[in-house]
Structure 1
């Protein structure tokens, strides 16, 4: 594949079919992550930690569902700010002031995440609704200053604005009715970009900046695994069993880091610019939600497995390890498949995709093993490290990385 005037002469697409919308030209200017964006992302260290504590305190079925709802809302607040910066620039006054205002609302959101919703639900709804309204205001200011942005900014602001009003309206309710409105509001938010899919070509995000921000969030989530392990270790005397379990848990976190960053992470974003594959870009973006939530839940399971001395909790802690691990591996498989199908002929074998899929099944099988903390963590470490080795040595992994580099879309190394 050769380059002419900054664009590839040809890109090997699996089926040669392109989306109907005209893609925007790939950005040639560099967009570095700013100190404000790093500060903004670090707020999610606290938000994820509070949600992890909520899940760990009461890992019941109902609380898991509530955890997933709150986590999705928090992740979507991050995604809204991040994609805005990647679309319209992170050096404009509207982004800087809007992000500072959103930081205030995120602080309140993090403060209310762990509490009883009967007491904190109203504050959470008001803070989250305000966060969404600020984002709507950022889109409206952009629309006013750049009428050409109307194709994407106007319907986005309308959808997010409707969701924000539902969030604010839910503050006057409580219990099941409030949760129902939260689900409705979040559904409106999540569906808005999908319903205007054909308009994304007018405002595609920066193909290097967005993957870098997404990668930074995954580092925050993986760092949370280490934090949970250390916190769990503080609950027990330092014995060889507890030290071994902690070592295996940290090794698993390192292996997951390698599995994620060994992938050609930005290919769908680059190809959205080159050939208009917006559907693949959206699958890439939304696919990071289950990966991030799986990593955070995995950290809770690993940490509580180390710190919990009650054998009655072993089954619950085991479930919080094996099923999130299966979810993380399955998501990695789907992300790889999404990148592979765009650039590699379908007949070409992919041993990494097969290994990740079988690894997810094997992780789920550990739920029936009845293993204690130390052997379970050892099995998890062995599985993830073996998968990391398979992916790292796979020629197709290297091939996908080369294609990504040729497209000028490789994210900055972390």
Structure 2
């Protein structure tokens, strides 16, 4: 697995100019670590997730859930745009640094508008998000002009981001939270989400870095998991610190730890490595898109757990229980999908027991929607369920074998010996170290 060391950046190949790190051979492997600027950019999402969580917690009805989902997808996609650009073209160029600084300003304005009613802030949100899309379009347009070999992909991405920006900016002319404005937002997001799939055949020379992007994605999951702790502390603040509050709060923290273990136990770079050596672009895109529902589920789970603590013993606790059950089921289903996607990259059959455990866990979590438990029993049941599934995954021999395969492939790339295929590296994987794959 890869671990970020912001003070040891070196993404230049020998003889390359520091002024233009984008000028490189895409087939040549280079180390690329997360920079301090990227860490600062990602930390903006601590505020964004917190604002979204507070917005949902105020009134978790169907309409609020739909608006929350729409805003969450927009915020997540703003993060994904920056992360994938850096993973494709490097994070040392002046273009990327200045573009990221500008995006941080736009994200700060976006965060300011997230908690308030869209009737009052919808136009401001649309303008801020449209500016963010324009910056992203400018970054890809710069790449298209400087790298003729990759102009087809970068130019199409720039066109898509520009069209999405026009829809966002145009939607600001409509009344806030109106059907017309929300419809334009949906159209713009659909354009953003579908573009990487539609232009994937042109992305061969702009594949994301196999170590850098999983590291950025992992950092975002840590931020989302940290939001669970924030919600737990906030919910407990309204209750006395006695056993009736401390025990369910402790169970909620254990749930967050179990989800952390479940996520980071996985071989998170395999789909990107498969795209590099086997051109399995679909698996890479499935890996990236799969993180959207997982991140959303974790944030919603935090809201459910936190509000369950603050509403313990009241009629509102039942609604929080349903929120916890549904979000945990979605999180476990997404983890099962990500695990299956990594297994599919290997092209081999493994007697994996983690995927069935995750699917069964998702079914049991969904069963909370049909039961009537109080806050204490709900939190204890959720903690026991996630901990059990995490233990099954941690002790599954396939978990270690996938991690060993990923480690061996990265090692060979660093040595300049790119395997011909994932199957080739799999045959050679037993020679790799057998260290634990968790961070």
Q: Assess same fold via TM > 0.5.
A: yes
- C-alpha deviation, 1:413, in angstroms: 7.1
How do residues 97-176 of structure 1 correspond to structure 2 at under 5 angstroms? 97-174=98-175, 175-176=178-179
Task: Measure, in 2, the Cα distance between the counterparts of 1:200 and 1:330.
Answer: 29
Q: What whole-Å deviation, never above 9, does each CA across 1:284-320 have from its counterpart, x for those lacking one?
A: 0000000000000000000000011462112210111
How do residues 308-387 of structure 1 correspond to structure 2 at under 5 angstroms? 308-309=311-312, 311-346=314-349, 348-387=350-389
Gaps of 5+ in 1: 1-23
Deviates more, 1:303-312 or 1:134-143: 303-312
Q: What whole-Å deviation, never above 9, does each CA across 1:113-167 have from its counterpart, x for those lacking one?
A: 0111111000000000000000100111122222222021011111111111001
Deviates more, 1:138-147 or 1:234-243: 138-147
Q: Match of 2:22?
A: none
Q: Does 1:189 align with 2:220?
A: no
- C-alpha deviation, 1:177, in angstroms: 0.7
Do the aligned partners of 2:167 and 2:188 also contact (CA within 8 Å) in 1? Answer: yes
SS at match of 1:345: coil
SS at match of 2:238: coil
- C-alpha deviation, 1:345, in angstroms: 2.1
Task: Measure, in 2, the Cα distance between the counterparts of 1:150 and 1:216.
Answer: 30
Task: Measure, in 2, the Cα distance between the counterparts of 1:190 and 1:57.
Answer: 29
Deviates more, 1:159-168 or 1:208-217: 159-168
2:239 pairs with 236, 240, 257, which one? 236
Q: Match of 2:44?
A: 43
Do the aligned partners of 2:312 and 2:374 also contact (CA within 8 Å) in 1? Answer: no
Q: What whole-Å deviation, never above 9, does each CA across 1:81-131 have from its counterpart, x for those lacking one?
A: 000000010000000000000000000100000111111000000000000
- C-alpha deviation, 1:344, in angstroms: 4.8
Runs of 4+ residues over 6 Å off in structure 1: none
2:268 pairs with 236, 247, 265, which one? 265
Higher RCO (C-alpha 8 Å, min separation 6) = 1
1:280 pairs with 280, 283, 292, which one? 283
Q: What whole-Å deviation, never above 9, does each CA across 1:183-214 have from its counterpart, x for those lacking one?
A: 01100110111111111212001110000000
Q: Match of 1:71?
A: 72
SS at match of 1:246: helix
SS at match of 2:372: coil
Do the aligned partners of 1:25 and 1:273 also contact (CA within 8 Å) in 2? Answer: no
Q: Match of 1:16?
A: none
Number of aligned residue pairs: give it: 389
Do the aligned partners of 1:228 and 1:299 also contact (CA within 8 Å) in 2? Answer: yes
Name the TM-score, length of structure 2 as normaliser. Answer: 0.87
SS at match of 1:408: helix
- C-alpha deviation, 1:408, in angstroms: 0.4
Q: CA RMSD in A?
A: 1.4
Do the aligned partners of 2:150 and 2:205 also contact (CA within 8 Å) in 1? Answer: yes
Task: Measure, in 1, the Cα distance between the counterparts of 2:332 and 2:261.
Answer: 12
How do residues 17-28 of structure 1 correspond to structure 2 at under 5 angstroms? 26-28=27-29
Do the aligned partners of 1:350 and 1:396 also contact (CA within 8 Å) in 2? Answer: yes
Task: Measure, in 2, the Cα distance between the counterparts of 1:196 and 1:382.
Answer: 43
Task: Measure, in 2, the Cα distance between the counterparts of 1:82 and 1:413.
Answer: 22
Do the aligned partners of 2:51 and 2:114 also contact (CA within 8 Å) in 1? Answer: yes
Task: Measure, in 2, the Cα distance between the counterparts of 1:115 and 1:202.
Answer: 42
- C-alpha deviation, 1:26, in angstroms: 5.0
SS at match of 1:285: helix
